[in-house]
A and B are shown apart, each in its own frame.
Chain A
Amino acid sequence: MAATPTPLKLSALHHKHLELKAELLKVDGWMVPDHYPKGPEDEVKAAMTSLAISDRSQLGKLEIKGPGTDSLLQSISSSPGVPGAPGEVLLGPVLSDPALGAAFSPLYLCKLARDQALLVYSGTLPPGPNPMDVALSGRPVERAYATNVTSVYAGINLSGPNAFEILSRLTQVDVSPRSFPSGRCLQAGFANILALLVHVDGRYEGQAVPSYDLFFGREYAEYVWDSIMEAGDDEVGVFPMGISAYNRLHPDAAKTAGRTAGVNR
């Protein structure tokens, strides 16, 4: 067998980024838009005045499910909020299992149901025997199953004051900040497909920035991107945003991303 170069990971939105003439950089093996032609300053401004859309597909996703989910989470976490209640989003380093490796940095844990949780992280997991396998240490927990679903879900972030305006054009569920405040997640129909919506606000210069992550089947990525862009109009502009501007609006995410040290220009 001949030597092979390092495999390149492409988001399902890669060709959208090329079409929009994004400048790309490599994050954790993924090609990710650093910024689009107008530059990060304009992208931050768009997010502060209207709505910015970012590709977050490179985020790691680890699904834990089964009746033993809570026990498993508690066995590999020292965070007091774990395991959390359904619909809750627990922020920060909620899991600390050495078996997950040094390049693993949790961003938040979505408690999807009584016996199901999704951990969103930056970085990578140590490879298992099969592509989606995850090895966990700690005491063995019966009836809890972990699967690496990073490849399964594409991710899109919507940041800006008009986020609710656009979301309410594409989903029938009540996503108003009163009913769906920051720190909550829900699975709902979105643009006629099923998506996970996670509300975790960002912060810029002391001001809260409404921010929502959407996760959905990777094969729908271009369709969802286009649906969001087309839901915008003259009053509610939707602008693409690269990781550089995104990290300014989400300093916590940027911090953990930095820790994984996987960024190459």
Chain B
Amino acid sequence: MISAYEGDTVASALYASGVRTFSRSFLFHRKRGLLCVSGRCPNCMVTVDGVPNVRACCEPAREGMKVKRQNGWPSTDTDIFSGVQLIERFLPVGFYYKTFINFPTEWANTQPMIRRLTGRGSVKQELARWNAQAASGGHGDRFEKQYLHPDVVVVGGGPAGVFAALAASRAGASAVLVHDQPSLGGHLRFEGDTVDLGSVEGAEEFSGMRGYELAAKLDRLARAEENLRVYDNANAFGLYESNEVGVVQGNKMLKLRAKQLIISTGAGEYLTVFKNNDLPGVLLGSGVRRMLALYGVPPGKNAVVVTNNDSGLSLANALLEAGVKVSAFADARTKVDTSSPRFEALRKSGAILLTGYSIKEAEGGGRVTGATLIRLDENGAATAGTEKSFKCDTICLANGFEPDAALLTQARCRVSYDEALGEFIPSESPASVQTCGDVTGIHDLRCAFLQANIAGLQAASGLASATKAPAGKLNELSASLKSAETAYRDRLASQGPRPIIGIVSEPTDGKGRKPEMNGFACICEDVKEKELAQAVEEGFRDIEILKRYSTLTMGPCEGKMCATPGVGICARETGRSIADAGRTVSRPPYLPVPMGALAGPGLHPVKLTAMHYKHLEAGATLMDMGEWKRPHVYTSVFEEYSAVRTKVGIIDLSTLGRLDVKGRDAPKLLDFIYTHTMSKLQNGKSRYGVICDDAGAILDDGTVTRLGEDHYFITTSTGNIDFVEQWLTWWAVAKKWEAQVTNLTSGFAAVNVAGPRARDLLRTLTDVDLSTEKFPYMASGSGLVAGVPCILLRIGFVGETGWEIHFPAEYGEYFWDRLMEAGRPFGIMPFGVETQRLLRLEKMHVIVSQDTDALSTPYEANMAWVVKLDKEDFVGKAALTFAKDEVPQRRLVGFTVEGEVVPHDGDQAFSPDGSTLIGVVTSCRYSPAAQKPVGLALIRSDLSADGGTFLVASGTSKLNAKITFVPFYDPEGRRLKE
């Protein structure tokens, strides 16, 4: 149990409670402690409430949260697997490639073990957590997505980002600012110096106050700005096509499509490479400043500060103010003015001041107990024999910044090495991308202010909604920026050379032995300096190839800690300049993103028919049919079957597709689409229709009803409505025919009332004459049924006298109730899809896509009667004309089997002697009418003679099937037509 203050992060609370080891490393299981305190390094990844890899330094502390350190067994403090270090020399760079290329099959056995050893959370644990939530009725974590289209997106909440966002929004642009901290102001939040932004217009509003006061003011101003929306604790993880910025904020994902993008992502410190540079107690300077200023947690009692720039001195003074002893202060620069009051304060505190010095080694076992410093020559190389050791519990590294340029490279900005600044900086940007602040390599607040205002005004200037900045103002700002930047560069040049690439080259011992190079270049993947040197020696000289071979920059920090020193080592080992060595390309996502956030909320559309709740009331079990929920069965298949065959049944057919086709060319269009002739259909009649593709394969089937001269009502199968709508519309447009297709599927509910008592039942509800004379089979009509306006079709999929009734969906429940009430005396029962499948199978009625496949023609499906080759051209005519005179390769046949075993849909069919696979059973059920299993099978046509046999392999049974083409029920169709 650990207590925390409001505003604490998990890391600050743990550190204040004495925890120093936060995790164990990836390969060697070395102890790792706080390092960057800004979410950039991998060291403080913990499991919070079951969620792995949470960065403790960014995660706000909450009451009752359960935090578990990762990757140690039995515990992170005492980890038995740290013994891996003893076999280090057997794990050289490229270990996996070198070892498993000769034993590829062993990889499958070894990989799970390696995966367990490497920590980084567990999907199994995550799944278990989700399952537990689901079992307790929860819905798992909540994920959200939001899509915004602001004029300007600013990434980065430091002073430059806020200045730019204010400038853009004040110029009239709608702006969004995303940043990864809880409050705006960036490093100003822990700066006590008084801010002076110079004499530029607008600067006076922000000058004359201390850094943290300005940070607070910027925070207030940004939130009060009407056109500016600020997202705190939000990480921009990638930039995609059309300036789309992916942002993750906790479990929420933002997709920002910006007209203009301002990148002010700042710069971060990286890890210097030296022996034991990963020991708990080695911290980056900016991390220490955060601990002191934001959480009031001192990093230790006795510190050594190692730096090569001005930030080190501020850091050392901040440590003194917090009561931390500074044993030694090493500045790699040689021309530093050590007479300033801050140096004086350090001197007075008893700190040893060393210029031209840097660090050689951190001393200690599980944590820092001392530091060895060493003098550098004018080339930045260490000089043997100049070592000085100091006792300390903390080593603070302030050895330079690396611009956070990932988004810049993704924005196709050109990023190149600036010798004078010692950093990779943007040199060319697309017109829709602006940059400002530390990401430009200029670490000067006055420059940042000017850059930001220029960026904000330029971003807004191209927008219709924004006011155009006067050219004079932009010129004035640009001139001021130029002089401020020159002054900054001059100041830098006056301070002499410094090791700017994050490595302190070890001295040789003069006996020809190679330096140890035992420092970690990559702390994510435990890659040491010597391994990079070895990789270069093996020929991996290009930085991108070196990256892939060594896994440098490929861990969770995505190169934030190791890219710069890695490039330095590559350059040194290959004898090239840093500019020539280049840098690795960052690709999105360059920050970890929860998979749930990428997936977003579970938006899975569900379609309900207008009678859905009536089916639930009746106790139906539901099945999914595409997005629809349909009743599978209500009571039992045989009870429902019996009602339809002997009394009357109703089934909800609302899911059928329905199209209204109007226009003078409607008959022509339907003739062209269907294989049947629809132009000759009489008004008030319906016809079964099949749609084929150019190869003559069946695409869909349904009914076509003529409502008027140029007006048709079409039904399609449930799953094909969108296709048929597009198919008809597409052909109407392609042929320039006047035919308007309107999808009315949603507007109609429908039922099929079928059975010998169907007519008797409907007569109680309608005045429409339903006699066979007036309303014969395949006729249609319209009128009121139970007071509801309906279209009635005399068709019957299930083989009984019946009417398919389509009516406006809002009457669904009312209509269902009336039918059930009126049908009670006739023994009415609702029936589900499963019963319908049995009923239609007894009639050998085909279900397209179940009894046919993507190659089946009407001839294969025994439906030659639907193909009218004597009409003008239609889709598939050429192929079907050819197919008509050919023997089809396959044929759909009916079959029966004797006995109790009912084959399954999809069972395989074999030749009578069992030697050859000849096809597949497409449908099979036990038929009460035939008193035996009946089915349809698509088999080789040369073995499909009427009365012939084939074998069906169903489970372990081999069943004799007898072929028939006569429907199993009412073969003459009398019941259907009576």
Asked if A80 is at the interface of the complex by the 8 Å CB criterion, the answer is: no
Knowing A151-B747, A176-B174, A227-B603, the reply to whether A7 touches B787 (Cβ < 8 A) is yes
Knowing A4-B787, A12-B809, the reply to whether A149 touches B814 (Cβ < 8 A) is no
Give chain B residues whose Cβ lies under 8 Å from the Cβ of A63: 742
**Could you tell me the distance between the alpha carbons of A137 and B881 in the complex, rounded to whole angstroms?**
47
Asked if A41 is at the interface of the complex by the 8 Å CB criterion, the answer is: no
Q: Which residue of A has the minimal Cβ distance to B765?
A: A1
- Beta-carbon contacts of B748-776 to A below 8 Å, as 1s and 0s? 10000000000000011111000000000
Interface size on A, residues (CB 8 A): 57
**Could you tell me the distance between the alpha carbons of A7 and B818 in the complex, rounded to whole angstroms?**
10
Verify A168–B813 contact, CB threshold 8 A. no
Asked if A15 is at the interface of the complex by the 8 Å CB criterion, the answer is: yes
Asked if A192 is at the interface of the complex by the 8 Å CB criterion, the answer is: yes
Give chain B residues whose Cβ lies under 8 Å from the Cβ of A152: 743-747
Knowing A4-B786, A131-B791, the reply to whether A171 touches B147 (Cβ < 8 A) is yes
Asked if A6 is at the interface of the complex by the 8 Å CB criterion, the answer is: yes
Verify A129–B782 contact, CB threshold 8 A. yes
Q: Which residue of A has the minimal Cβ distance to B788?
A: A7
Knowing A4-B818, A151-B746, the reply to whether A219 touches B149 (Cβ < 8 A) is no
Verify B814–A130 contact, CB threshold 8 A. no
**Could you tell me the distance between the alpha carbons of A65 and B739 in the complex, rounded to whole angstroms?**
11
**Could you tell me the distance between the alpha carbons of A165 and B853 in the complex, rounded to whole angstroms?**
46
Verify A222–B605 contact, CB threshold 8 A. no
Verify A217–B147 contact, CB threshold 8 A. no
Asked if B849 is at the interface of the complex by the 8 Å CB criterion, the answer is: no
Instruction: Find B145's partner among A6, A150, A169 (CB 8 Å cutoff).
Output: A169
Asked if A208 is at the interface of the complex by the 8 Å CB criterion, the answer is: no
- Beta-carbon contacts of A209-228 to B below 8 Å, as 1s and 0s? 00000000111111100010
Asked if B663 is at the interface of the complex by the 8 Å CB criterion, the answer is: yes
Contact residues of A between 43 and 86, Cβ < 8 Å to B: 57, 63, 65-67
Verify B786–A7 contact, CB threshold 8 A. yes
Give chain B residues whose Cβ lies under 8 Å from the Cβ of A192: 603-605
- Beta-carbon contacts of A5-30 to B below 8 Å, as 1s and 0s? 11111111011000000000000001
Verify A131–B814 contact, CB threshold 8 A. no
Q: Which residue of B has the minimal Cβ distance to A68?
A: B738
Knowing A10-B814, A218-B746, A231-B144, the reply to whether A2 touches B764 (Cβ < 8 A) is yes
Q: Which residue of B has the minimal Cβ distance to A15?
A: B613
Measured between C-beta atoms, what is the minimum distance from A130 to chain B in Å?
Answer: 5
Verify A1–B791 contact, CB threshold 8 A. no
Give chain B residues whose Cβ lies under 8 Å from the Cβ of A218: 610, 746-747, 809
Give chain B residues whose Cβ lies under 8 Å from the Cβ of A10: 610, 810-814
Give chain B residues whose Cβ lies under 8 Å from the Cβ of A132: 660, 744, 747, 808
Asked if B674 is at the interface of the complex by the 8 Å CB criterion, the answer is: no
Verify B660–A131 contact, CB threshold 8 A. no
Asked if B740 is at the interface of the complex by the 8 Å CB criterion, the answer is: yes
Asked if B927 is at the interface of the complex by the 8 Å CB criterion, the answer is: no
Asked if A193 is at the interface of the complex by the 8 Å CB criterion, the answer is: yes
Knowing A66-B663, A153-B746, the reply to whether A219 touches B628 (Cβ < 8 A) is yes
**Could you tell me the distance between the alpha carbons of A168 and B786 in the complex, rounded to whole angstroms?**
44
Knowing A12-B809, A30-B810, the reply to whether A149 touches B744 (Cβ < 8 A) is yes
Verify A176–B605 contact, CB threshold 8 A. no
Asked if A96 is at the interface of the complex by the 8 Å CB criterion, the answer is: no
- Beta-carbon contacts of B567-587 to A below 8 Å, as 1s and 0s? 000000000000000000000
Contact residues of A between 183 and 202, Cβ < 8 Å to B: 191-193
Verify B767–A1 contact, CB threshold 8 A. yes
Give chain B residues whose Cβ lies under 8 Å from the Cβ of A129: 707, 782
Verify B809–A223 contact, CB threshold 8 A. no
Verify A127–B810 contact, CB threshold 8 A. no
Measured between C-beta atoms, what is the minimum distance from A77 to chain B in Å?
Answer: 21
Give chain B residues whose Cβ lies under 8 Å from the Cβ of A30: 810
**Could you tell me the distance between the alpha carbons of A65 and B661 in the complex, rounded to whole angstroms?**
12
**Could you tell me the distance between the alpha carbons of A193 and B603 in the complex, rounded to whole angstroms?**
9
Give chain A residues whose Cβ lies under 8 Å from the Cβ of B810: 9-12, 30, 57, 151
- Beta-carbon contacts of B715-737 to A below 8 Å, as 1s and 0s? 00000000000000000000000
Q: Which residue of B has the minimal Cβ distance to A192?
A: B603
Measured between C-beta atoms, what is the minimum distance from A140 to chain B in Å?
Answer: 13
Measured between C-beta atoms, what is the minimum distance from B970 to chain A in Å?
Answer: 29
Give chain A residues whose Cβ lies under 8 Å from the Cβ of B790: 131
Measured between C-beta atoms, what is the minimum distance from B819 to chain A in Å?
Answer: 11
Verify B742–A151 contact, CB threshold 8 A. no
Number of interchain pairs (Cβ within 8 Å)? 158
**Could you tell me the distance between the alpha carbons of A104 and B740 in the complex, rounded to whole angstroms?**
25
Give chain A residues whose Cβ lies under 8 Å from the Cβ of B146: 168-169
Give chain A residues whose Cβ lies under 8 Å from the Cβ of B747: 131-132, 149-153, 218
Measured between C-beta atoms, what is the minimum distance from A100 to chain B in Å?
Answer: 17
Verify A176–B149 contact, CB threshold 8 A. yes
Verify A219–B787 contact, CB threshold 8 A. no
Verify A223–B605 contact, CB threshold 8 A. yes
Verify B603–A219 contact, CB threshold 8 A. no
Verify A223–B149 contact, CB threshold 8 A. no
Knowing A7-B814, A168-B146, the reply to whether A178 touches B174 (Cβ < 8 A) is yes
Give chain B residues whose Cβ lies under 8 Å from the Cβ of A147: 660, 662, 742, 744
Knowing A66-B740, A152-B747, A153-B746, the reply to whether A231 touches B601 (Cβ < 8 A) is yes
**Could you tell me the distance between the alpha carbons of A12 and B812 in the complex, rounded to whole angstroms?**
10
**Could you tell me the distance between the alpha carbons of A130 and B767 in the complex, rounded to whole angstroms?**
16
**Could you tell me the distance between the alpha carbons of A1 and B744 in the complex, rounded to whole angstroms?**
29
Measured between C-beta atoms, what is the minimum distance from B805 to chain A in Å?
Answer: 11
Asked if B864 is at the interface of the complex by the 8 Å CB criterion, the answer is: no
Verify A149–B742 contact, CB threshold 8 A. yes
Give chain A residues whose Cβ lies under 8 Å from the Cβ of B742: 63, 65, 145, 147, 149
Give chain A residues whose Cβ lies under 8 Å from the Cβ of B822: 2
Measured between C-beta atoms, what is the minimum distance from B720 to chain A in Å?
Answer: 16
- Beta-carbon contacts of B876-889 to A below 8 Å, as 1s and 0s? 00000000000000
- Beta-carbon contacts of B806-844 to A below 8 Å, as 1s and 0s? 111111111100100010000000000000000000000
Asked if B606 is at the interface of the complex by the 8 Å CB criterion, the answer is: yes
Asked if B607 is at the interface of the complex by the 8 Å CB criterion, the answer is: yes
**Could you tell me the distance between the alpha carbons of A171 and B603 in the complex, rounded to whole angstroms?**
12
Contact residues of B between 171 and 186, Cβ < 8 Å to A: 174
Q: Which residue of B has the minimal Cβ distance to A144?
A: B740
Q: Which residue of B has the minimal Cβ distance to A177?
A: B174
Verify A219–B608 contact, CB threshold 8 A. yes
Verify A217–B791 contact, CB threshold 8 A. no
Measured between C-beta atoms, what is the minimum distance from B447 to chain A in Å?
Answer: 33
Verify A174–B662 contact, CB threshold 8 A. no
Contact residues of A between 93 and 129, Cβ < 8 Å to B: 127, 129
Give chain B residues whose Cβ lies under 8 Å from the Cβ of A14: 813
Instruction: Find A220's partner among B607, B663, B766, B806 (CB 8 Å cutoff).
Output: B607
Verify A143–B663 contact, CB threshold 8 A. yes
Measured between C-beta atoms, what is the minimum distance from A225 to chain B in Å?
Answer: 11
Instruction: Find B662's partner among A15, A145, A219, A221 (CB 8 Å cutoff).
Output: A145
Give the 7 A-B residue pairs with the shortest CB-CB distance, closest first: A152-B747, A174-B149, A151-B747, A219-B607, A217-B746, A9-B810, A151-B808
B-binding residues in A (CB < 8 A): 1-2, 4-12, 14-15, 30, 57, 63, 65-67, 127, 129-132, 143, 145, 147, 149-154, 168-174, 176, 178-179, 191-193, 217-223, 227, 230-231, 233
User: Beyond the given A2-B765, A192-B605, could you list 13 further A-B residue pairs with CB under 8 A, ordered by the A residue number?
Assistant: A1-B766, A10-B812, A57-B810, A131-B789, A131-B806, A168-B148, A169-B144, A169-B147, A176-B150, A218-B746, A218-B809, A219-B628, A223-B608
Q: List 28 A-B contacts (CB under 8 A).
A: A2-B764, A6-B787, A7-B787, A7-B788, A8-B814, A9-B808, A10-B610, A63-B742, A66-B738, A130-B791, A131-B807, A143-B663, A145-B663, A145-B740, A151-B810, A152-B746, A152-B747, A153-B747, A172-B147, A173-B147, A176-B149, A179-B149, A192-B604, A192-B605, A193-B605, A218-B610, A222-B608, A223-B606
A-binding residues in B (CB < 8 A): 142, 144-150, 174, 255, 257, 465, 601, 603-610, 613, 628, 654, 660, 662-663, 707, 713, 738, 740, 742-748, 763-767, 782, 786-791, 806-815, 818, 822
